[in-house]
Chain A
Amino acid sequence: MSVAVQGATGKGSRERDQRPGLLERLKRSYARHWYAYAMIAPVVLVLGVLVFYPLVQGIWLTLTDANSLNVARHIGVNEIPASYQYIGFHNYADILWGPGSYDRFWSHFVWTIAWTVICVCLHYTLGLGLAVLLNKKLRGRAAYRMLLILPWAVPTFVTVFSWRLMLSDGGVVNTVLSGLHLPEPGWLTDPWAQKAAAILVNTWAGVPFMMISLLGGLQSIPAELYEAAEMDGATRWQQFRHITLPGLRSVSSTVVLLGVIWTFNQFNVIFLLFGKGAPDAQLLVTWAYRLAFGQIPQDFAQSASYGVILLSILIVFTAFYRRWLARNEQANG
């Protein structure tokens, strides 16, 4: 492993070999980094074999018309070779501007973006509010913390299943609503109510992570800052605005990034809440899954194309987000 990497760096720096002692420098660099490369070798290997190779394979699939009828498969003892063929970027073109692309892609795209923005905003504000409360000197703080963390502690598919029972027609949520003489939406059947229900459930499930992360951030802000501010006569709001929020910046930037990634790719909530129904409430990721495993013939190529598009969106977002963070950091010293 290390030898291969060493060779690669050698090739890269060959143009500048007028500097004396290239061999010497390589030897020194090899001696210095040998351990590092040996130590990362297992993960690089796993990433290469289990992630990179399937990724390349997946990207290749998106350039073909592969589906369950033409991939290599076994029927009984007979082995049928793959018969799909290269069709260029047709899948992407078809998804992005082919006939019916609004229903198949753009409507899900808009919903996925809206879902991500709404959920992450709710997660963050509710999580921050609860974290601030938990950071006060209150009696029973530990007990509140234990209870509030519960949605995170119980596996998602258990809690989503519970929500499904609660939100079903005649379930406890609608019973309460009818008791209050409020309208009873069909949470699991009506397109708009489905979206509201999905956001509700995901918010419920996602707040504890934000809350605990931000609480950790709050506790690392030195108390002297607040004392000094109080001496200078700062109000509670000013303290929050000028001490708490800046103090949380590094934690916030991380959890918001993770939150966006996880929410954008959120599979379990939608999949478990609606099962095979609710075409309108499908996010891009569940929609892609459905193309490959929820219909016959299974459209592997299109599904993988959706996946590649999703991944590209996230990578572009992350790159911009990190650049924006770096700029902010500079601006704020």
Chain B
Amino acid sequence: MSTTTERPAAAATAVPAARPAKFRPRGESSPLSKALSHGVLILASLIALFPVGWILFVSLGPDKTDYLHPGQIFGKLTLSNYQHVLADTDFFTWFGNALLVSGVTTVFGVLLAATTGYAVSRMKFPGHKPLMWSLLVTQMFPIAVLIVPMYTMLSELGLLDSYTGLILVYSTTTVPYCAWLLKGYFDTIPVEIDEAGRVDGLSPFGTFWRLVLPLARPGLAVAAFYSFLTYWAEVPFASTFMLSSDKYTLAVGLQSFVSEHDAQWNLMAATAVLIAIPSAAFFYLVQRHLVTGLTAGASKS
């Protein structure tokens, strides 16, 4: 016991002596700066964690005003909100709708975008620059530019309140975005592979299909996950275009707790947690690759 209390004191006195730090290996910092770093990181982690933890906590309180006096929740922790949401609401319908819409959008987007990403990454052709520009500009579209014409178009085509309509609308952003993302991934695959394929007599498309695409599987997975997660929880388009409650996606269904049952915050909290779990799980599976794909594509344009 006494030795352990002595240690920190010794270390503390050693700090000033070690201050010139000529002999400290690179990348190692002084204990003081280490402690400071840990302090800042712990604080930041708490701030990042708190709202997520908070909604989890509130979802365990049975009463809709429990979030105002959280202390009382400890006395009556219950899973009844989850039970209610799963058993008595349209949760599974919404879940299925969200899965269907975001799933089809993802497949559609990645399939269409893959060849374009490859072409933009490997080939120089007249129109290359305008294409890259239009891919970038579509990321800038504020929702207000397209939502009105899309609304009138869909209503003329009778596609309002239909899965097809929503999928088409989502494709406007997901297709150029996936093309952009995949271009970044294809850039990281060495050109020598293509050249080897060409030497062995494959056509450019054959090279793409047989050699590059299999190698790009992680990139494809990232593009797929990214667009899936985006549309899994998309609000404005879904809440504008999906009008009947059996067509609601999760994000829209969640809103309905406010109007229909005069703000059932506890049920909303439970639903929110149920929605967050699968998407957060997916996210952690692929997060390592997410950013490299994104920024690689952008910085090399």
* Interface residues of A, Cβ cutoff 8 Å to B: 5, 9, 29, 32-33, 35-40, 42-44, 46-47, 50-51, 54-55, 57-58, 61, 66, 71-74, 129-130, 133-134, 136-138, 140, 144, 146-159, 161-163, 165-166, 168, 170-172, 204, 208-209, 212-213, 216-217, 223, 226-227, 230, 250-251, 253-255, 257-258, 261, 264-265, 267-268, 271-272, 275, 284-285, 288-289, 292-293, 300, 303-304, 306-308, 310-311, 314-315, 318
The answer on a CB contact under 8 Å between B40 and A133 is yes
With A130-B44, A147-B45, A157-B254 given, is the CB distance from A58 to B120 under 8 Å? no
B144 in the interface (beta carbon within 8 A): yes
User: Which one of B3-11, B84-92, B129-137, B216-224 is at the A interface?
Assistant: B129-137
The answer on a CB contact under 8 Å between A304 and B148 is yes
Which residue of the partner chain, among B67, B70, B155, B254, contacts A73 with CB atoms under 8 Å? B155
Which residue of the partner chain, among A47, A230, A255, contacts B134 with CB atoms under 8 Å? A47
With A40-B120, A47-B138 given, is the CB distance from A288 to B41 under 8 Å? no
The answer on a CB contact under 8 Å between A40 and B142 is no
- A sample of 19 more A-B contacts (CB under 8 A), given A40-B131, A151-B52, A165-B67, is A38-B205, A54-B149, A54-B153, A55-B149, A61-B148, A130-B41, A151-B48, A155-B232, A163-B51, A216-B295, A253-B299, A267-B143, A267-B236, A268-B235, A289-B236, A304-B148, A304-B149, A314-B142, A315-B137
Interface centre among A47, A54, A137, A170 (most CB of B within 10 A): A54
Q: How far is the CA of A255 from the CA of B140 in the complex (A)?
A: 14
Q: How far is the CA of A46 from the CA of B144 in the complex (A)?
A: 20
B269 in the interface (beta carbon within 8 A): yes
Q: Which residue of B lies closest to A71 (CB)?
A: B152
B211 in the interface (beta carbon within 8 A): no
Interface residues contributed by chain B, number (CB under 8 Å): 95
Q: How far is the CB of B49 from chain A (nearest CB, A)?
A: 6
Which residue of the partner chain, among B115, B141, B268, contacts A42 with CB atoms under 8 Å? B115
The answer on a CB contact under 8 Å between A35 and B205 is yes
Please encode chain B, from 116 to 136, with 1 for each CB lying within 8 Å of some chain A CB and 0 for all others: 101110010111000100101
Q: How far is the CB of B276 from chain A (nearest CB, A)?
A: 5
Which residue of the partner chain, among A162, A250, A303, contacts B51 with CB atoms under 8 Å? A162
Q: How far is the CB of A37 from chain B (nearest CB, A)?
A: 7
Q: How far is the CB of A2 from chain B (nearest CB, A)?
A: 10
Q: How far is the CB of A230 from chain B (nearest CB, A)?
A: 6
The answer on a CB contact under 8 Å between A43 and B279 is no
The answer on a CB contact under 8 Å between A37 and B34 is no
Main secondary structure of the interface of A (DSSP, over half): helix
Please encode chain B, from 33 to 54, with 1 for each CB lying within 8 Å of some chain A CB and 0 for all others: 0100110111011011101101
The answer on a CB contact under 8 Å between A250 and B37 is no
Pairs across A and B, CB under 8 Å, 25 listed: A35-B203, A43-B113, A43-B115, A51-B138, A58-B148, A61-B148, A74-B155, A136-B34, A138-B41, A154-B52, A155-B232, A155-B251, A155-B276, A159-B52, A165-B269, A172-B70, A217-B295, A226-B26, A288-B144, A292-B148, A303-B148, A306-B144, A315-B137, A318-B136, A318-B137
Q: How far is the CA of A46 from the CA of B131 in the complex (A)?
A: 13
Q: How far is the CA of A151 from the CA of B50 in the complex (A)?
A: 10
Residues of A close to B99: CB separation below 8 A: none
With A51-B138, A147-B48 given, is the CB distance from A137 to B229 under 8 Å? no
The answer on a CB contact under 8 Å between A162 and B47 is no
Q: How far is the CA of A144 from the CA of B48 in the complex (A)?
A: 10
Which residue of the partner chain, among B47, B179, B276, contacts A154 with CB atoms under 8 Å? B276
Residues of A close to B120: CB separation below 8 A: 40
The answer on a CB contact under 8 Å between B179 and A43 is yes
The answer on a CB contact under 8 Å between B131 and A44 is yes
Residues of A close to B232: CB separation below 8 A: 155
Q: How far is the CA of A54 from the CA of B113 in the complex (A)?
A: 20
With A54-B150, A58-B145 given, is the CB distance from A43 to B112 under 8 Å? yes
B166 in the interface (beta carbon within 8 A): no
The answer on a CB contact under 8 Å between A137 and B28 is yes
Residues of B close to A304: CB separation below 8 A: 144-145, 148-149
The answer on a CB contact under 8 Å between B123 and A36 is yes
With A39-B119, A216-B292, A307-B146 given, is the CB distance from A158 to B55 under 8 Å? yes
The answer on a CB contact under 8 Å between B138 and A307 is no
Q: Which residue of A lies closest to B172 (CB)?
A: A50
The answer on a CB contact under 8 Å between A55 and B112 is no
Q: How far is the CB of A9 from chain B (nearest CB, A)?
A: 6
Interface centre among A39, A73, A318 (most CB of B within 10 A): A39
Residues of A close to B41: CB separation below 8 A: 130, 133-134, 138, 144, 148
Q: Which residue of B lies closest to A255 (CB)?
A: B295
The answer on a CB contact under 8 Å between A311 and B140 is yes
B168 in the interface (beta carbon within 8 A): yes
B280 in the interface (beta carbon within 8 A): yes
Residues of B close to A288: CB separation below 8 A: 142, 144
Residues of A close to B279: CB separation below 8 A: 153-155
Q: Which residue of A lies closest to B119 (CB)?
A: A39
With A33-B125, A136-B29, A146-B284 given, is the CB distance from A258 to B137 under 8 Å? no
Q: Which residue of B lies closest to A169 (CB)?
A: B68
B265 in the interface (beta carbon within 8 A): yes
Residues of A close to B299: CB separation below 8 A: 250-251, 253-254
B240 in the interface (beta carbon within 8 A): yes
The answer on a CB contact under 8 Å between B233 and A155 is yes
Residues of A close to B106: CB separation below 8 A: none
Residues of B close to A227: CB separation below 8 A: 26
